[in-house]
Amino acid sequence: MPKRAILIVLDGCGAGAAPDSLEYGDQPTVATVKNVFNHVKGFHAPNLQRIGFLAACGIGDPQSNSGRLQPTGKGKDSVTGHWEMMGIDILNPFPTYPNGFPKNLIQEFESRIGRISIGNKPASGTAIIEELGPEHIKSGHPILYTSADSVFQIATHEDVVPIESLYEWCRIAREICTEPNNLQRVIARPFTGTPGNFTRTERRKDFPVVPPPNIIDEIAAIHGPILGIGVVPELFNGRGFLATSRTQSNPEHFRALLDAMQDDHSFIFANFEDFDMLYGHRSNPTGFAECLEEFDVYLGKIIAELDEEDLLIITADHGNDPTDASTDHTREYIPWAIVSSGSDTWLGDQIGFRIIGNKIKSWLAE
């Protein structure tokens, strides 16, 4: 059989504060997976333990085939994490807006969509739809908000604004978010329900800035399009990936991954985001621990499908410590654990996430 590589990113599962964490507003005590483990007084994840992922997070003694990677790019989010894995050097941070978006950007957006907007401030997604959802339903005005990340988020009720209209507004925002307002991502945040009982739906869609040439392009040119699962294709603007429907939750990602492993794909690149989205941003270490235990069951089934020509890497993209004072991402090392034949050493701490992309590229070339 030909060589195959599978890369699984456990979104937000950081492995300890990076040396420059204070520059990002994070204390040296942040350590997502280890702090979750300690907070709940241990969780049961024998497969993550066996492959060395937990050891890389500081839980137990060092094990072969695992270690930590120090971020070098400017940022602590999914785009910068995934891009750095694929060899993109992010030398200048994307802009953030702790006081809301500039007036000229809002005016251009409103002029293009033909409606005024409400919100325009940093906020939790669930909190701002509870606050402004009733006004939105009455007026039809989209809710705009941001976070500590470089994001332009648009929330609308699916019964008020058709989903395709929301996506079109996001495409307009993406078009106008250029220098100096070259936000990293525009995100559609649809929701349903009634005041006091709003729920964000699973039709979120990301519109990132277009990435420069990277390892994805190199692999796709030689081995054919990559099968991306979850948000991954959107993070790279779809370039180099097969056109597929986006899965929206860890159970969906798992089913899609098992299905993909039955087909002929040289590279499968998956992101499991529930750790970050459902528990890290909501400061819920108990839910985070339960999510890791759930994934551990998935991992056992994934490993059972591997053969000697497969390379499996389990890693993360940044931290999101639910035990710290913030609901934002945290600047951390990422753990990585390799499951393949021919690897049997403790990998220790190394600099740069691109080591992962280069490892995959060299594996497929052997």
pLDDT digits (tens, 9 = 90+) for 303-315: 999 998 999 999 9
Residue 233's nearest CA partner among 258, 263, 262, 267 is 267
Provide the angle, in degrees to the nearest 10, between the axes of the packed helices 32-39 and 285-304: 110
Residue 328's nearest CA partner among 282, 363, 289, 359 is 282
Average pLDDT of the chain is: 95
In degrees and rounded to multiples of 5, residue 137 shows phi and psi of -60, -40
Cα gap 104→284, rounded to integer Å: 37
Provide the angle, in degrees to the nearest 10, between the axes of the packed helices 103-113 and 163-176: 140
Cα gap 252→256, rounded to integer Å: 6
First and final C-alpha spacing in the chain = 13
Residues 6+ apart with CB under 8 A from 12: 32, 273, 275, 276, 280, 316, 317, 318, 319, 320, 329
User: Which residues partner with 313 through β-bridges?
Assistant: 7, 338
Number of CB atoms found within 10 A of residue 138's CB: 9
Are the beta carbons of 157 and 192 closer than 8 angstroms?
yes
Rounded mean pLDDT, 109-125: 96
The pTM score is 0.87
* H helices present in 60-124, as ranges: 78-85, 103-113
For residue 63, name the pLDDT band (cuts at 50, 70, 90): confident
Residue 337's nearest CA partner among 291, 366, 302, 365 is 302
pLDDT digits (tens, 9 = 90+) for 242-278: 999 999 999 999 999 999 999 999 999 999 999 999 9
Residue 12's nearest CA partner among 306, 206, 280 is 280
